Structure formats: structure tokens, C-alpha cells
Amino acid sequence: MSVKQISVFLENRPGTLERMTGALSAAGVDMRALSLAETKDFGIARMVVDDAMSAVNVLKDADFVASLTSVLVVEIPDEVGGLNKLLAHFTETGVNIEYMYAFLGGSSSNASYMIFRVADTDAAEAKLAKRGLKLLSQEDIAGI
């Protein structure tokens, strides 16, 4: 039930990010979440989209270096301490988080979601699903 995240290498210069989002927009790809990390010379955009395979092909056709990575997308309770409660499940099951970022559900949803990159996605998914957490699939992402 993991989701495919796209990582894109971006030169750190004006217009590069807009060129990337423009290529996706022109192809009708809908971004659900985006995270950008940068250094002086380059950045890495990480994103979850409605159609990961199409998006990777669009980006490669537009001369971007793009790759797919499996991540977990977990619904987070909209309450005080919701993130803390979710992270406790990771701690209690021994799942180490490499990085994470968040996004809100669609216009008809009050749900929030956290995207997690972990070392062993399949093992983490099995451990967290046993605890009753709501993990999204790629199909779920397309429907948001």
C-alpha cells in the first residue's frame, strides 16, 4: 500500500522550479504534496502526485532527472497531539523515519496526511497497519 514519491534534481537558479511545475501542469498532473530541499547549487524536489508514472515520464521528457521512491502516506488525526500520537506508533514499532512532510486532503476532506520515508517500507507498513493506522495507496492518492 505504499505510494510512489518522485524526486527531481533541480539546478538552483531562477525559473527551474517553475519550469518543472509547468511541465507537470501542461500534462495534467495534479500534485498532492511537495517538499523542496536545497543547497547552494542544486535542490531536490520531492512530490506525491495523482499519477506518478506519467509524471516521471513528463519530467524526463522535459530534461529533468527524476526517480521514484516508495513512501508511506498515513492519515493524521486532526487534534492536539495528533502528530505526537502518530509518531509514538513509529517509536513503539522501531520504525526509523528518514524524513517526512505533510499535506491536506482535497476540498471535500478535513483529513491531513504525513508522508514518511523509512528504510524498509514494506516492514514498516506491516507494523503500522497492525496498529490500525490508515495508510493510503497510490489509488487513494489519485482519488483525493
Which pLDDT score, from 0 to 100, does residue 106 have?
A: 64
Give ranges for CATH 3.30.2130.10 in the chain: 3-70
Q: CATH code for 3-70?
A: 3.30.2130.10
Tens-digit pLDDT profile for residues 69-106: 999 999 998 889 999 999 999 999 999 999 999 998 76
What distance in Å separates the CA atoms of residue 143 and residue 137, rounded to the nearest whole number?
A: 10
Supply the pLDDT for residue 49.
97
Q: What are phi and psi of 59, to 5 degrees?
A: -65, -45
Which pLDDT tens digit goes with each residue over 36-67?
Answer: 998 778 899 999 999 999 999 999 999 999 99
- Indicate the Cα dihedral angle 8, 11, 12, 13, nearest 10°: -130
Would the pLDDT of 5 be above 90?
Answer: yes
pLDDT at 109: 65
The whole-angstrom separation of Cα 5 and Cα 14 is 24
Which residue type occupies 11?
E
Encode pLDDT of 92-143 as tens digits: 999 999 999 999 876 556 789 999 999 999 999 999 999 999 999 999 998 8
Question: Could you give the CA distance from residue 88 to residue 78 in angstroms, rounded to a whole number?
Answer: 16
In the predicted structure, residue 14 carries a pLDDT above the cut 60: yes
Q: What is the pLDDT of residue 108?
A: 57
Mean pLDDT value of segment 17-33:
97
Three-state SS at 30: coil
**Every domain range in the chain assigned CATH 3.30.70.260:** 71-143
Fold of 71-143: Alpha-Beta Plaits (3.30.70)
The rounded distance, in Å, linking the Cα atoms of 56 and 53 is 5
pTM of the model: 0.91
The CA-atom distances, in angstroms, between 10 and each of 37, 55, 86, 105 are 10, 15, 32, 27
pLDDT for position 114: 96
